[in-house]
């Protein structure tokens, strides 16, 4: 399982432009809720082959802000997006980020 960390708008553009389904996770390294959600995200990826990337919201704030602006979805942290062919097909945040919820969204 490989999870890219996006540090620049160019990396975000490349990730979003790729075809097919992909997961994008916005993570705050100082938030316990985000830590739990990140563990759920990694647990899902341990069993599924879905391209995935993480944005650290404090360290790479411009990239995090660009996601909110580009997709017109209010920033939250933690937050996960299922992208398909460059469009958001599903998103959720906080305690709703579970392995089961991610699996259901990806399979749907």
The pTM score is 0.96
Q: How many domains does the chain have?
A: 1
Distance CA(43)–CA(23), nearest Å, equals 13
Question: Measuring CA to CA, which residue among 20, 77, 87 is closest to residue 54?
Answer: 77
**CATH label of the domain that carries residue 77:** 3.40.30.10
- Structural domain containing residue 95: 3-107
Q: What are phi and psi of 4, to 5 degrees?
A: -75, 145
Per residue in 47-106, pLDDT (tens digit) is 998 999 999 999 999 999 999 999 999 999 999 999 999 999 999 999 999 999 999 999
Confidence at 1, pLDDT banded by 50, 70, 90: low
Strands 52-56 and 3-5: parallel
Q: 67: which 2 tokens? A: 């996601």
**Joined tokens for residue 37:** 């959600």
């Amino acid at each position: 399982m490989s999870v890219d960390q996006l540090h620049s708008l160019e990396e975000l553009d490349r990730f979003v432009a790729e075809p097919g389904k992909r997961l994008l996770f916005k993570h705050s390294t100082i938030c316990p809720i985000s830590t739990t959600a990140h563990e759920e995200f990694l647990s899902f990826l341990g069993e599924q082959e879905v391209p995935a990337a993480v944005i650290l919201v404090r360290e790479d704030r411009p990239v995090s802000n660009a996601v909110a602006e580009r997709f017109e979805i209010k920033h939250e942290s933690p937050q996960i997006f299922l992208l398909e062919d460059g469009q958001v097909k599903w998103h959720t945040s906080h305690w709703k980020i579970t392995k089961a919820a991610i699996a259901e969204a990806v399979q749907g």
